[in-house]
Structure 1
Amino acid sequence: MRERRPLPIVGQPQPERADAARNRQKIIEVAARMVAECGAGDLSLDEVAREACVGVGTVYRRFGDRTGLLLALMDERERRFQAAFLSGPPPLGPGAPPGERIVAFLHALVDLILANEVLFLLLEKGGTGNRLTGPYQVHHIHLATLLAQACPGADTAYLADALLAPVNAHLICAQRGERGMTVERIKAGLAGLAAAVMRVTS
Structure 2
Amino acid sequence: MSVERADAARNRQLLLNTVREMITETGVEQVTMDGLAERAGLGKGTVFRRFRSRAGIFHALLDDDERAFRERVLHGPPPLGPGALPAARLVAYGRARIRFLLERHAIARAALDHNQSMLAGESILSQIHLRMLLGHAGVDAPDVDSLALQLTGALEGPILLYLPMSPRADNDRHIARLADSWQILIECLCQPTPEREAEADRKG
| TM-score in same-fold range (> 0.5) | yes
Match of 2:116 in 1: 129
The structure 2 residue matched to 1:183, chosen from 150, 175, 192, is 175
Match of 1:91 in 2: 79
| Aligned-residue offset at 1:108 | 0.5
Cα 1:172–1:164 shift into 2, 3 Å: farther
Contact 2:16 / 2:61 at 8 angstroms: preserved in 1?
yes
State how 1:34-45 maps to structure 2 within 5 Å: 34-45=22-33
Structure 1 CA distance, aligned partners of 2:7 and 2:126? 32
Structure 1 CA distance, aligned partners of 2:39 and 2:15? 8
Q: Percent identity?
A: 35
Contact 1:163 / 1:193 at 8 angstroms: preserved in 2?
no
| Aligned-residue offset at 1:20 | 1.5
Contact 2:102 / 2:175 at 8 angstroms: preserved in 1?
no
| Aligned-residue offset at 1:196 | 3.5
Q: What runs of 5+ residues in structure 2 fail to find an aligned partner?
A: 197-204
Cα 1:128–1:140 shift into 2, 3 Å: farther
| 1:17 alignment partner, SS class | helix
Give the TM-score, by structure 1 length. Answer: 0.77
State how 1:161-176 maps to structure 2 within 5 Å: 161-167=149-155, 168-171=160-163, 173=165
| 1:29-84 CA distance string (max 9 Å, x none) | 21111111111112100110111122212111111111111011122321221111
Contact 1:92 / 1:104 at 8 angstroms: preserved in 2?
yes
Cα 1:148–1:62 shift into 2, 3 Å: same
The structure 2 residue matched to 1:144, chosen from 131, 137, 147, is 131
| Aligned-residue offset at 1:129 | 3.3
Match of 2:54 in 1: 66
Cα 1:83–1:127 shift into 2, 3 Å: farther
Aligned CA RMSD, in angstroms, stands at 2.9
Greater Cα radius of gyration, structure 1 or 2: 2
| 1:185 alignment partner, SS class | helix
Give the TM-score, by structure 2 length. Answer: 0.76
Match of 2:95 in 1: 107
Q: Which range moves more in the overlay, 128-137 or 84-93?
A: 128-137
Structure 2 CA distance, aligned partners of 1:173 and 1:166? 17
Contact 1:120 / 1:169 at 8 angstroms: preserved in 2?
yes
Cα 1:58–1:163 shift into 2, 3 Å: same
| Aligned-residue offset at 1:184 | 2.8
| 1:165 alignment partner, SS class | helix
Contact 2:94 / 2:182 at 8 angstroms: preserved in 1?
yes
Cα 1:161–1:123 shift into 2, 3 Å: farther
Task: Count how many residue pairs are aligned between Structure 1 and Structure 2.
Answer: 183
Q: Which has the higher contact order (CA 8 A, sep 6+)?
A: 1
| 2:154 alignment partner, SS class | coil
Q: What runs of 5+ residues in structure 1 fail to find an aligned partner?
A: 1-15
